[in-house]
């Protein structure tokens, strides 16, 4: 069907009219059904559903992105990466394809590219679920514990996930205490990590002691004890 035929077809109208709204509603219904099949492990049925949507709208970001994930899950990672990149082009303000592309790239050992796409997802949506945890873990693997700590600390302000807590602990253990910023939020997170606890307290006790000694009040107390044998 060419553009003129499409315009002349009964029931269709200019962009934003009843015909377009009906088409969008159909695409959304088909997408929800395909996604349900995907999440239930019915990959072949899901693939057919995504392709049906793309036959209607070749730039449907959700269908492109999840077809890309499905391709990766089926052992066709390069095809999946290509589809996820098309999903990003189709909707530049959608963080989801960046997040999912980062997951695929990480699975393929391309951690540098995965970090870039996780950062992009958070640039678009600073509270995107899971992105802080994935980015922090990747930065830690890349030998950047200070950056990993900053990312996970920010993530823990938004969600209380076990993954973020674990990455926070590993980042603290990997860093020289002298390199850590002693702001209030960090001290509160460190106290939570020790008291809830997020790990065995002794795993953080050395780092915590060294960090606390950097606080002026604690340093004065230690000096006073050394001189007088009491803290007052």
Tell me if 16 is assigned to some domain.
no
Give the per-residue pLDDT at 228. Answer: 72
Q: Tell me, yes or no, whether 94 and 115 share the same domain.
A: yes
Question: Can you give the pLDDT of all 232 residues of the chain as single tens digits?
Answer: 333 333 333 333 334 455 556 677 889 999 999 999 999 999 999 999 999 999 999 999 999 999 999 999 999 999 999 999 999 999 999 999 999 999 999 999 999 999 999 999 999 999 999 999 999 999 999 999 999 999 999 999 999 999 999 999 999 999 888 777 778 888 889 989 999 999 998 889 888 888 877 777 666 765 666 677 665 5
Give the per-residue pLDDT at 2. Answer: 36
Q: Which domain holds residue 163?
A: 129-232
Within 8 A by CB and 6+ apart from 52, the residues are 30, 34
Of 61, 7, 5, 9, the C-alpha closest to 35 is: 61
Residue 180 DSSP label: S
Cα 60 to its chain centre, rounded Å, is: 22
Within 8 A by CB and 6+ apart from 95, the residues are 120, 121, 122, 124, 125, 128, 131
Q: Which of these three, 83, 109, 128, is where a domain ends?
A: 128
CA count, 13 A, side-chain hemisphere, 20: 6
Tell me if 82 is assigned to some domain.
yes
Q: Tell me, yes or no, whether 79 and 143 share the same domain.
A: no
- Under 8 Å between Cβ of 187 and 157: no
What sign results for the dihedral spanned by CA atoms 138, 143, 149, 154? Answer: negative
Tell me if 6 is assigned to some domain.
no
Domains identified in the chain, total number: 2
Of 163, 164, 136, 160, the C-alpha closest to 150 is: 136
pLDDT tens for each residue of 95-144: 999 999 999 999 999 999 999 999 999 999 999 999 999 999 999 999 99
Q: Which of these three, 128, 149, 184, is where a domain ends?
A: 128
Measured CA to CA in angstroms, residue 155 lies from 27, 32, 127, 159 at distances of: 33, 29, 8, 6
CA count, 13 A, side-chain hemisphere, 15: 1
What sign results for the dihedral spanned by CA atoms 202, 144, 109, 82? Answer: positive
Tally of CB atoms within 10 A around 167: 28
Q: Which of these three, 128, 148, 170, is where a domain ends?
A: 128
Give the per-residue pLDDT at 209. Answer: 82
Tell me if 230 is assigned to some domain.
yes
Q: Tell me, yes or no, whether 185 and 110 share the same domain.
A: no
Q: Tell me, yes or no, whether 147 and 204 share the same domain.
A: yes
Of 218, 206, 216, the C-alpha closest to 175 is: 206
């Amino acid at each position: 069907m060419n553009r003129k035929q499409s315009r002349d077809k009964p029931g269709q109208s200019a962009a934003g009219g009843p015909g377009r709204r009906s088409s969008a509603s159909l695409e959304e219904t088909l997408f929800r059904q395909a996604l349900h099949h995907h999440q239930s492990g019915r990959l072949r049925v899901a693939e057919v559903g995504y392709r049906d949507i793309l036959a209607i709208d070749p730039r449907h970001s959700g269908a492109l992105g999840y077809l890309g994930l499905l391709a990766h899950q089926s052992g066709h990672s390069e095809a999946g990466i290509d589809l996820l990149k098309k999903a990003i082009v189709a909707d530049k303000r959608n963080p989801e394809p960046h997040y999912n592309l980062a997951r695929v790239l990480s699975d393929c050992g391309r951690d540098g590219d995965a970090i870039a796409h996780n950062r992009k997802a958070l640039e678009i949506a600073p509270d995107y679920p899971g992105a802080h945890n994935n980015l922090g873990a990747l930065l830690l693997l890349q030998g950047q514990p200070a950056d990993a700590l900053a990312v996970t600390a920010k993530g823990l302000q938004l969600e209380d996930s076990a993954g973020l807590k674990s990455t926070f602990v590993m980042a603290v253990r990997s860093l020289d205490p002298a390199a850590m910023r002693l702001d209030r939020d960090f001290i509160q997170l460190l106290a939570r990590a020790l008291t809830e606890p997020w790990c065995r307290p002794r795993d953080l006790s050395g780092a915590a002691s060294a960090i606390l000694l950097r606080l002026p009040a604690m340093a004065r107390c230690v000096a006073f004890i050394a001189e007088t044998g009491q803290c007052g």
